[in-house]
């Protein structure tokens, strides 16, 4: 489980496009942190850098690091959730196909035609994938024939012009 209560003070729900134009960290930021850790205590007052501004940088960095850890955990959880869902959908589809196949087999070869009526939607659902695949194959074959025909005609025209 994921509980972001500890991060509630830094979590913000921003409206769509609310981050348009927002800045991101640049290369070399770690060197800047190192420099500021040494320069601010010694020279911050002389440079008129208010301590609150630097503390916000430190606090933001701690928050960013914490949210980066949470983000990685949530991404992994989302990945596992999606994969688990896909597996369950696949297994369910295979089971539905098996139910439809058994009902069809018993209804036709088992000479129990009344089963066909009771499992009509399941049998039809099962056959959709095969029907769609056959239509796609037929379409692809027709496209390949047209392509071959066009190449043949194009080849004859080129030969006639030479």
Chain centre distance of CA 45: 49
User: Are the C-beta atoms of residues 2 and 71 closer than 8 Å to each other?
Assistant: no
Measure Cα distances from 151 to 25, 138, 146, 157 in Å: 54, 20, 8, 10
Is the pLDDT assigned to residue 154 strictly greater than 80? no
Mean pLDDT of the region 138-162: 69
pLDDT at 77: 95
What's the Rg (C-alpha) of the chain? 33
pLDDT at 150: 73
Q: Which residue has the higher pLDDT, 85 or 143?
A: 85
Task: Check residue 46 and report its DSSP letter.
Answer: T
* Structure tokens, 118: 């009771």
User: Are the C-beta atoms of residues 123 and 146 closer than 8 Å to each other?
Assistant: no
What distance in Å separates the CA atoms of residue 153 and residue 14, rounded to the nearest whole number?
59
pLDDT at 159: 47
For 18-73, write each residue's pLDDT tens digit: 999 999 999 999 999 999 999 999 999 999 999 999 999 999 999 999 999 999 99
What distance in Å separates the CA atoms of residue 71 and residue 77, rounded to the nearest whole number?
10
pLDDT tier, 130 (very low <50, low <70, confident <90, very high otherwise): confident
pLDDT at 64: 97
**3-state SS class at 111:** coil
């Amino acid at each position: 489980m994921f509980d972001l209560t500890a991060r509630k003070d830094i979590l913000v729900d921003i409206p769509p496009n609310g981050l348009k134009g927002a800045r991101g960290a640049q290369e070399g930021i770690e060197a800047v942190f190192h420099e500021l850790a040494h320069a601010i205590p010694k020279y911050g007052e002389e440079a008129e850098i208010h301590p609150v501004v630097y503390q916000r940088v430190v606090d933001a960095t701690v928050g960013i690091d914490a949210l980066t850890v949470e983000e990685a955990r949530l991404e992994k959880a989302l990945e596992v959730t999606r994969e688990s869902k896909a597996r369950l959908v696949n297994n369910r589809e295979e089971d539905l196909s098996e139910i439809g196949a058994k009902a069809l087999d018993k209804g036709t070869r088992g000479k129990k035609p009344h089963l066909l009526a009771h499992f009509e939607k399941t049998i039809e659902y099962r056959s959709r994938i095969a029907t769609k695949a056959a239509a796609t194959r037929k379409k692809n074959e027709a496209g390949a024939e047209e392509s071959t025909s066009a190449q043949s005609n194009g080849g004859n025209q080129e030969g006639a012009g030479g």
